Structure 1
Amino acid sequence: MSLHPVIVGGGPAGMAAAIELAEHGVHCTLLEEASRLGGVVYRGPLRDGVHLDYLGPRYAEVLARLHGDFQDRCALIDVCLNTRVVGAEGTRALVMLDAGERVQEITYPQLLLAAGCHERSVPFPGWTLPGVILLGGLQLQIKSGVVKPQSPVVIAGTGPLLPLVACQLHASGVKVAGVFEASAFGKIAKESLALLNKPQLFLDGLSMLAYLKLHRIPMRYGWGVVEAQGEGELRNVTVAPYSSSWQPDLSRAEQVAAQTLAVGYGFIPRTQLSQQMGLEHGFSDDGYLRATANIWQQSSEPHVHLAGDMGGIRGGEAAMFSGRIAALSILVQRDVLSTEQALPLRERYLAKLKSIVRFRAAVDRYTERGAGQTALPAADTVICRCENATRADIDRALSQGVQDMASLKMRTRVSMGDCQGRMCVGYCSDRLREATGRQDVGWLRPRFPIEPIPFSAFQNLGTDALNHE
């Protein structure tokens, strides 16, 4: 067994945890699937010498501080980039695909899962057309400093990421045809006091709206996507005003010319690994599955910790604090700190978390999805891209009395493809909750490996076996 704690995920949570451990003299191993640290939030450009000035001074400041603190303590952090964890062996070992595409096993005394999140997919007619992209993926294009989307761009969905990405796109020289926020303005205004728990973020939001107005980029509240059209590639987007339950008023629908449609309906924790490990999970108010953790960020297995978006979506700043709290728990378990020494530090981090949690709760309330969203797909709209299962297939299964995710999987093959349900399970569980009236409609434990492994990873297995004999 490795004597060092292992951290899965090199985003803000994983980096902050590694920094906290190093500050107390504890060596750790950090596994990151990307070629650079920082996660989707603070990864920075993929090429040296690229300056992303249009992302704003606050972004640049946090990015530089986080990476600077990490670099100052890197002597005690073993970083494994381009390393994907593809499964777990119980709760004491992980199986990973290293940078050389070799399958390796790593054991640990303590583990921190900071695997981040993935975007919520919302199917609608035309959502599989080339040119339709998830909003977070589009933002990664901007941050990469390598590619830019084809314009004009339409942005649709809900949440503070919509105007942010619109401003970043325009500042980088991309034409934005319009931003369509599904929630009504009045619903957002009701949360103003709660949003002031983070006044700088609130002011940033106002400045983004002022920027859009100044550059004549339409920002329409209570409007959402209905359909994407094109032959082989995106040409037009149909949008319409939404009711309070997100039912589109098709009598007032409009077409907007676009070559790129960026759709953003929030994020979902990446729980594939925590599910495979058999950790306890629960459902959020928004219906997504998340692993449960206590005040020390410990999972149902005390030596396995959770940080960042694993336990719920709260943003990059909150991820850093949760990562540091998890690190304190690891330090206590390793007898580096006593509980009495760790408690004041934990309380300091928790105090900083409170205002973020209140701010995030307000965002969650105004971005709460309407029930009408599940009605957007037509009968022939593909829901599960891997298995080509359509809405009609799901409707038929529900009409036959399917009550849970396992039964739906057996009837329709949803989630049986390479992505193991990342793209389709959200919509399917929404439909099941709608049909059954139950919050808990079950979940599907991912099979091993949680991501495809290339054949090249096995090319030396025969030779290794012979040498072993």
Structure 2
Amino acid sequence: MSMRPIIVGGGPAGMAAAIELVNHGQPCTLIDEASRLGGVVYRGPLRQGVTLDYLGERYRDAMQALHAEFSKVSHAVEVKLNTRIVGGEAGQWLYALNEQEKVEKIDFEQLLLSAGCHERSVPFPGWTLPGVIMLGGLQLQIKSGVVKPLGRTTIVGTGPLLPLVACQLHRAGADVQGVYEASSFGRIAKETLAMLNKPQLFLDGLSMLAYLKRHGVPLHYGWGVVEASGQQEVQEVTVAPYDDNWTPDLNRAVSLTTETLAVGYGFIPRTQLTQQMGLRHAYDADGFLKPEINGWQQSSEAHIHLAGDIGGLRGGEAAMLSGRIAAQSMLKQSGAISAELAEKNRQRYLTELKAVLRFRVGIDSFTQRGSGQLTLPREDTVICRCENALRQDIDSALEQGVQDLISLKMRTRVSMGDCQGKMCVGYCSDRLREHTGKADVGWIRPRFPLDPLPFSAFQTETEEA
């Protein structure tokens, strides 16, 4: 068993944790599925001469400072890039698909999971058409410095990523014809006090709105998507005013010609691994499943720590702080530092973290989803893209008395495909909770492997064997 702490995820949380561990004399191993460290917000430009302007000045400076700090301790960090964790068991081991495309078993005594998040899918008629792309995926194209969206781009959804990507697209020379924020302007006005806990972030947001106005990119509050349409690809998007419950007013719907439709409804934690490992989870008020975490970033298994967006979406600054707190717990457990010093360090990081969390409360309240979006799919709208399960299949199962996700999976095959529910379980759990009135409708434990494996992963060393 490895005596070195194992960190899964080389984003801000994982890097910050590794720095803390090494600074207190504890070498560690850092595993990431990408070809470089920094996390998904930093990913994209691998070529020389591509700048990091898309990050914004403040966050770019923070990430560059983190990389500089990491470089000072990198001699004591075993970094495994291009290595994807495809399964694991709590208290025992992980399975990784390494750079040679072989599955290897990794034992651990202490583990930190900072696996990040993935985008929330919201199905509506036409959401599977070519040209309809999730906002995070479109942002990755911008980061490449090579790919731009085709023709006119319309942005729909909710959250601070909408104006950010709109600004980035415009700077890259794309034609942004409009941004449609589902939440009303009144909501954001009510949360101004909470968001002033991080005045620089608040001012950054205002500067983005000013940029869009100055360059003639309209931003519509309280409007959202109704449907996308086209023959072989998206050609038109219909938007309409939303009420406070996000139910569209179809009498005032407007159709727009568009070649790219970017959809962003925020992110949810990547919990497939924590679920498979049998850690305790609970439903967040926003409908997603998240693992239980205490004040030391410990999961329900004390030697397994969780940091970053895997415990809830709070941004890069909070991810770094949660990683540093988790490291204090790991150092205390291993006896590398005293309990008193660990607590002192934890309190220092917690003070910084609380200001970020107060800001996030305002963001979360502003972007709180309405149940009206559940009515967007028509009967023939695909919900599970892997198994081609339609909304009418979900409706029939509910009419037949289905009360939980496991039963819904058995009746409709949702979540049985390669993505294991990343795309469809959110909508399905929302529908179940609305239908049953229960906050907890169960969950589907992902199976091994979490991602499809190449045949090379199973090839033995010799033909005879």
The 2-side partners of 1:55 and 1:22 are apart by: 28
Equivalent position of 1:223 in the other structure: 223
Counterparts in 2 of 1:306-455, with a 5 A limit?
Answer: 306-455=306-455
2:197 alignment counterpart: 197
CA distance in 2, matches of 1:176, 1:157: 15
Would you identify which runs of 4 or more consecutive aligned residues in structure 1 move more than 6 Å? none
The residue type paired with residue 119 of structure 2 is: E
Question: Bigger shift: 159-168 or 255-264?
Answer: 255-264
State how far apart, in whole Å, the 1-side matches of 2:437 and 2:142 are. 41
Q: Aligned residue for 2:157?
A: 157
**Secondary structure of 2:47's partner?**
coil
| Counterpart for residue 126 of structure 1 | 126
Secondary structure at the counterpart of residue 169 of structure 1 = helix
2:13 aligns to what?
A: 13
Quote the residue 1:91 is aligned against: 91
CA contact (8 A) 1:12 1:42 kept: no
Paired residues of 1:177 and 1:217 also in contact (CA < 8 A):
yes
Give 1:54 shift: 4.8
Partner residue, 1:38: 38
Q: Please give the secondary structure, in 2, of the residue aligned with 1:245.
A: coil
Deviation digits for residues 326-382 of structure 1, max 9, x if unmatched? Answer: 011110111100110111110010000001101101111111101100000010000
Q: What's 2:242 paired with?
A: 242
CA distance in 1, matches of 2:150, 2:73: 41
Contact kept, 8 Å, 2:235 with 2:257, in 1: the verdict is yes
Paired residue type of 2:298: Q
Structural RMSD (CA): 1.2
**Match for 2:409: what amino acid?**
K
Give CA deviations for 1:8-62 in whole Å, capped at 9, x if unaligned: 1111111111111111121111110111111112335222221243543223212
Q: Deviations over 1:419-458 (max 9, x none)?
A: 0000000000000001000000000000111111111111
> Alpha-carbon deviations, 1:144-170, whole Å to 9, x = none?
323222131111100111101100110
The range that moved more, 400-409 or 33-42, is: 33-42
- Residue identity opposite 1:379 in structure 2: E
CA distance, structure 2, for counterparts of residue 60 and residue 341 of structure 1: 31
* Contact persistence 2:89–2:278 (CA under 8 A): no
Counterpart for residue 280 of structure 2 = 280
> 1:54–1:172: 8 Å Cα contact kept in structure 2?
no
Contact 1:125 1:226 in 2 (8 A): yes
Match for residue 80 of structure 2? Answer: 80
CA contact (8 A) 2:44 2:140 kept: no
Correspondence for 1:209: 209
CA contact (8 A) 1:46 1:146 kept: no
* 3-state SS in 1 of match to 2:96: strand
- CA spacing shift, 1:451–1:164, aligned 2, 3 Å: same
Classify the secondary structure of the residue corresponding to 1:328. Answer: helix
Please, which moves more after superposition, 85-94 or 267-276?
85-94
Letter of the 2:406 counterpart: A
1:312 deviation in Å?
1.0
Displacement of 1:414 in angstroms is 0.1
- Report the more deviating stretch, 64-73 or 75-84: 64-73
Q: Does structure 2 retain, via aligned residues, the 8 Å contact 1:46–1:145? A: no
Three-state SS of the structure 1 residue aligned to 2:447 is coil
**Deviation string, structure 1 residues 259-304 (Cα, Å, up to 9, x no partner):** 1111111111000000011001011110100001110001111000
The CA deviation string for residues 225-249 of structure 1, in whole angstroms up to 9 with x for no partner, is 0111111111111100001111111
Q: Which amino acid aligns with 2:223?
A: W
Task: Provide the residue aligned with 1:254 in structure 2.
Answer: 254
Name the TM-score, length of structure 1 as normaliser: 0.97
Residues 54 and 171 in structure 1, CA contact (< 8 A), matched pair in contact too: no
Instruction: Give, in whole Å, the separation in 2 of the partners of 1:268 and 1:450.
Output: 17
Q: Distance in 1 between matches of 2:117 and 2:54?
A: 25
- The one-letter code sitting in structure 2 at the alignment partner of 1:104 is E
Amino acid paired to 1:334: S
1:41-85 Cα deviation digits (max 9, x unpaired): 233522222124354322321221111111121101111111000
Partner SS for 2:156: strand
More divergent stretch after superposition (431-440 vs 255-264): 255-264
1:86-106 CA distances to partner (integer Å, 9 max, x unpaired)? 000342200000011011011
Tell me what 1:148 maps to.
Answer: 148
Separation in 2 of the partners of 1:451 and 1:418? 7
Distance in 2 between residues matched to 1:327 and 1:90, nearest whole Å: 19
Question: What are the ranges of 5 or more consecutive residues in structure 1 without an aligned counterpart?
Answer: none
Instruction: String of CA shifts for 1:195-226, please: whole Å, max 9, x gaps.
Output: 10010010011111000000000100000001
What is the CA–CA distance in structure 2 between the aligned matches of 1:148 and 1:80, rounded to whole Å? 31
AA partner of residue 407 (structure 1):
S
Tell me if the contact between 1:52 and 1:145 (Cα under 8 Å) persists in the aligned partners: no
The match for 2:289 is: 289
Query: Contact 1:47–1:145 (CA<8 Å) still a contact in 2?
Result: no
Q: Distance in 2 between matches of 1:306 and 1:253?
A: 44
Q: For residue 291 of structure 2, what is the amino acid of its counterpart? A: A
Mapped partners of 1:65, 1:416: distance in 2: 42
Query: Mind listing any 5+ residue stretches in structure 2 that lack a counterpart?
Result: none
Contact 2:112/2:306 (8 A) holds in 1: yes
Q: Letter of the aligned partner of 2:26 in structure 1?
A: V
